[in-house]
Structure 1
Amino acid sequence: MKINSFAFGLALALSLAPFAYADDPAPSPDDTTIALKYWVQYAKDGNPAAQYGLGYLYANGQGVEHDDAQAVDWYRKAAAQGNAKAEYALAYMYSNGRGADKDLAQANAWYRRAAEQGNADAQYALGYSLANGRGLDIDNAQAVGWYQKSAALGQPQAQYALGYMYSHGIGVREDDTMALAWYRKSADQGRGDAQYALGYMYDNGLGTAADLSQAIEWYQKSADQSDSQGEYALGYAYANGRGVDQDDAQAYSWYRKSAEQGRADAQYALGYGFANGLGVPQDDKQALQWYRKSADQGRADAQYAVGYSYANGQGVPVNDDIAVEWYRKAADQGDAQGEYALAFMHAGGRGIAKDYGKALQWYRKSADQGRADAQYALGYMYDNGQGTASDKNEAAAWYRKSADQGNSEGQYALAYLYHSGDGVPKDDGQAVDLFRKAAEQGDARAQYGLGYMYYNGYGVAKDTNQASDWFHKAADQGLPEAQHGLSYMAADGGGLIKDVGPEGQEPVKTNGQSDEPGWVLLKVLTTLLP
């Protein structure tokens, strides 16, 4: 089932992902063409290069049975003789718990020995440990120093890391121009994450003039290497027609690639595609599966989407209790949709005890973030004294905030207050303007209200043709008051329609006819929807 616009949209954005994953380069041998027997012979003779090489063969199962313990033993022998590659390799094994118990203190000690001998991989690894608190106290300034040494030797991971530090002002003064330069050096060596980062810089005009075509080119390079950030960015470009022709099939193909690598924003996007049949067949069950994957990683909009699926029986039987759990997870992260939905559940007693006070609190949180439907709902609570004393002035203020954002419910409700003179000075001209704005968005109540104003000549010249047109529009949507209004017009032939307010209806004398029920400008407020 397609998700309505009031529920949620695909509000995604690109960003530079935190540089917080260990990606130390694996050790490599000096020469893979030397026969195994010579590695063994020279290693046993105490040659450190051969000891390192033999350790590498054991670590990778090349020519011998894979044996990490043997690898560590040979790396240690070479490292004890000051072989920088062996020092790095031994640190790598300790860092990853291969062939020895994981020991970050030992790992960093050996990284430092190798780094001080100018080993670029070790310099990068030591910088990473300092930047991320991997067995060492965080010291970003020192981390930058080691990244700089490594990057100057052409180490691509260090170049990317240094770009990231400059981009975010971590351990060094923020400098997008420097960030761009280092990202480019790394990207030119084929690193997918650096290619994505370079695309992001061009996309956002950071350190250079914005250039969407360059951004797309680098996103494509990154995506072609299966970098999940690049795949997501390229999907986003196709979904929104940014730098490429809009193409949902391409967009969701790239989103899927990224989602399958565990990227939460891509998982949410793919779920949205399945929910709405964008680039993929509409499938509520698949949508829920992908939303759940994203939600389990803590993404608030996905948590809201999971709740919405349970609340509305999309891809799963309706379960209000579970819906409330997920809405709360999203709301507790400050997600405006989640706050609004949780308020709705409190107000209706769905999946949780009915509590207008809590509903009011959550509507306010959402409304304070600028969510128009929450602003309308908060106005409704003040208007009707739900969870608070009735306050027409406060109601009008919140209806206005909602109406100013183009929300048809807010426009309708504020129009009604202008007509009745509650919370605002009575002003039928304003009422007509607001009824019209809401009516033109298809709001049946506002269409009826606008017809009512035309029929009675309130705030506008009396015009029964216009009245009939607007009543018909509302009646076509099944609004009973409008259907009644058309019947009244046919029977009455132009008599005044009496507005008795929201309390109900009362008989109205018609031209010589028997008593017919008149109709009122009812304060019909639609059911709030999560």
Structure 2
Amino acid sequence: MQSQELFSLAEAGDTNAQFHLGAMFYEGRGAAQDYAKAADWFGRSAGGGYHEALNMLGVMHYHGQGVRQDFTRAADCFRLAERYSFNDEPLYDDIAADWRDRLLSPEAVDNKRQFLHRARVLGGEARYGIGSGLCGTAAETAVSHAARGLFGSAAALGNGRAMYSLGVMCRDGQGVRASKTRALMWFMLADRAGLAKAREARAALEAGMQQAELERAEKLMRRWLRVYPADTELAAAA
């Protein structure tokens, strides 16, 4: 589609055209890169119900691209996109990569504290997505701890995929002391959330455990559910 035609459609209120015009200015593709114009067109598109634009607005507010940097507004955009079932994990990976660099800086402790504080306003799926992106360098202590913190807070909101990821970390000793009992607890919770691979992981782990360990995992799961009784976020089988 020619730029002039795209612009005409966007001006006429076509949300798809508005989104692609925003992307054109954001990427500097077919026009000079202009973050302010990109944010304007993404905003119009999102206002018309084009949910993919919400994620792009979230990224721009997160990085302060063409708009004032505002982590709360970024979180609101991600949360709305999540509510409308639009999840773009590569965007979460982009944010995770940004924070991975910060977490490994000399000010890692302060950055980790800021990171987890800002993440608290995100929805469960966004927390899971960013945590997954951070796990790319799980060998780094600061990063793996931040990922675990994100998974834990997402699990508290009922996110099944975060529960499964915590199970894997506990089973394999990734950034945490290996514990079959705690791993089983997380797999059981993820299984309750409807995650197919959690059921498989649970069965494989249970096969090599003693009865006392199984009972301990069951007790831990019931304790978790008493503290966090919220409905689980049903996760699509992966």
Return the TM-score normalized by structure 2: 0.47
Structure (1 or 2) with the larger CA radius of gyration: 1
Relative contact order, higher structure (CA 8 A, sep 6+) = 2
Structure with the bigger percentage of helix: 2
